[in-house]
Structure 1
Amino acid sequence: MDNISVITMLTLSGLNGTANYRVPLFTVTLLCYCVIWLVNVTVIATIIGDKNLHEPMYIFLCNLCINGLYGTAGFYPKFLSDLLSPAQIISHSGCLLQGFVLHSSAAADFSLLALMAYDRYVAICRPLVYHSVMTKQRISLLVFFVWFIPFFLILMSTITSTSRLCGSNIPKIYCVNWFINSLACSVSVTANVIPGFIFTFYFCHAVFVMWTYVYMIKICIKSKENLSRFMQTCLPHVFCVLIVAVCLLFDLLYMRLGSRDLSQNVQNFMAMEFLLIPPIINPLIYGYKLTKIRRRILHFICAKKF
């Protein structure tokens, strides 16, 4: 008979040393979360409410904003609760759920950005066949797979993280599968193979997006009309891709290779980057740069004033 007790509760030690300013941090975090909801819901409601915006690019943008709300919902409520709690603990199942939400949201971000890059490629490089390629049925199918594939892959990765644990401390402010696996008494081969496949799969997404925009730039510099269209509809997307890629890559590399000599505050900021910057910047960039969305929002605001 195995007398080793089963560990069911885990400790998130990322907030150690922040007891003196948790209330100000709670206030700032709550404000950021409210801003995330405000900017994303504004873009979502604008696209859903205006039939003129029921076009592929805006449908994909709407899904990107929905994903931003989904991903942040897996972090901010728990983090805000931890800031006001004397102990930052989470159940093993709750930790797996949080890890699933954060990982699947990050993966869906890359899938949506790759899909948006494909949409812009067809619109600019093959405009004559755009409407025959981006039909309603095909858009529905693409959106389904953009959500289904990340959820399926991350679910497979999460299932392999359900081994018995021999430790209970996660040195982060939220749960991720890599740290959960590091606490396992034994790690199966699949626990390493599946994350490796997922990383390679989404690295290919990043390469595809880079190739798409390099190719589009080469096409657009030959035509003033195409260049103007690129600057109007593609430039915001390029910024969003760079922001998401840099934030996720920075956190991933730091989590695997980072030095523990850095202060806990710096480590926490690095951990929060992709949950703070992209969900705020993405809808702001698109809302400002895409003329149809900007005009619709300004029209709504002016109508409310008068």
Structure 2
Amino acid sequence: MNQSFINTAVLLTAYDPPGPLNCVFFMLTFFLYVFTILANLILILVIYMDSSLHKPMYIFLLNLAVNGLIGCSAVCPNVMDNLLRDAQSISYGGCLLQVLFINVYASSAYAILAVMAYDRYVSICKPLQYHTIVTPSRVKLLLTVVYLIPVTLLSFQVYLTSQLPLCRFVINKLFCDNLSVVKLSCVKSALGDLYGVFIIASLVVLPFFLVLLSYIKILHVSLRASKESQKKALSTCAPHFIVFINFSVSILFSVVYNRHSTVSKYVNHLISAQFIFFPPLLHPLVYGIRTKEIRRSITKIIQRGILAGPL
């Protein structure tokens, strides 16, 4: 990293000066953050405490919840702090660290969703071979890949960004992203641009198409199955498909509005940041509502707690 800039303050100009409106946004962000933490922690604890949920699909879901906590925690505390400060800024080193965590969150979420789609594909299309294909060792290997590859590739991207000389120190965003930090530089990096395309292709486009391919195969098999089997496949895949569509739309909106927005600045900043604010909260809620096994486990844990209470 360019040591001469590591402690330099980067101004975030998306915020208004301190006032009543900032207090309202602070409370909204605070409650959103608290509910997100609670929803994901409850899901994690339910899966951890109920041995009947110690299956590949729920292990992947637990990791999706952990990843959601990483994503919202990389942004929400900093946003709340800036809403109450006179000067909204972040150190250049802190900005790069935020870029890394946000990108790891987004790419790992796609990777986990791709792995979950693969699990559903094997479960529905090759049910008799499921336990020989999705073994505990393979689950560990997939989870290692889900985290190791994004962290490695994105760390190198942030390293390339950190080597660029700076001539500007203002970002018109609520938080840092790699494109905004690159635009602070006085020069263009052909290697950085090329590597950015490689990152998008390998960590976003590839997982996206793997999920679509899994669902095409699931649909193909389901159409030839009985009505009962189709219903079971639909109930099994529905939560994952809803979460996948929700996250993909969130990412798409963030990218589009980040570059070509004609709406007010408040709506623009909210839409460009909503892939951080909303999916980590909606994902555990969707699975909690749509998945019968998780609903049953939550009920069982609550009943156990009520019965143990008077003792």
Q: TM-score range by the shorter chain?
A: over 0.9
After superposition, residues 276-287 of structure 1 pair within 5 angstroms as: 276-287=277-288
Q: Deviations over 1:33-58 (max 9, x none)?
A: 11101110011001111111110000
Q: 2:196 matched to which residue of 1?
A: 195
* 2:208 alignment counterpart: 206
1: CA distance, partners of 2:256 / 2:184: 19
Alignment of 1:109-258 (within 5 A): 109-162=109-162, 163-201=164-202, 202-223=204-225, 224-255=227-258, 257-258=259-260
Matches within 5 A, 1:89-100: 89-100=89-100
What whole-Å deviation, never above 9, does each CA across 1:102-140 have from its counterpart, x for those lacking one? 011000000000000000000000111110011111110
Alpha-carbon distance between aligned partners in 2 of 1:266 and 1:303, rounded to the nearest angstrom: 45
- Cα separation, partners in 2 of 1:17 and 1:266, compared to 1, 3 Å: farther
CA distance in 2, matches of 1:79, 1:298: 35
- Further displaced range: 18-27 or 261-270: 18-27
The separation in 2 between residues aligned to 1:279 and 1:270, in whole angstroms, is 15
- Maintained 8 Å contact 2:70/2:105: yes
Which residue identity is paired with 1:213? Y
The percentage of aligned residue pairs carrying the same residue is 33
| CA distance in structure 2 between the partners assigned to 1:293 and 1:82 by the alignment | 37
TM-score, normalization by structure 2 = 0.93
Segments of 5+ residues of structure 2 without an aligned counterpart are none
Q: Is the 8 A contact 1:156 1:194 kept in 2?
A: no
Q: Distance in 2 between matches of 1:299 and 1:83?
A: 41
- 1:191 is displaced (CA, Å) by 1.1
Contact kept in structure 2, 1:10 and 1:89, CA below 8 Å: yes
Deviation, 1:17, is 6.1
Count of aligned pairs = 300
1:248-305 C-alpha deviation (Å, 9 max, x unpaired): 11111222x313x421211121122111221111111111111111111122223334
Task: Map Cα deviations across residues 227-248 of structure 1 (whole Å, 9 max, x no partner).
Answer: 1222222011001000111101
Which structure 1 segments of 5+ residues have no match?
none
Q: Does 1:27 align with 2:27?
A: yes
The match for 1:82 is 82
SS at match of 2:10: strand
Matching of residue 303 in structure 1 with residue 304 in structure 2: yes
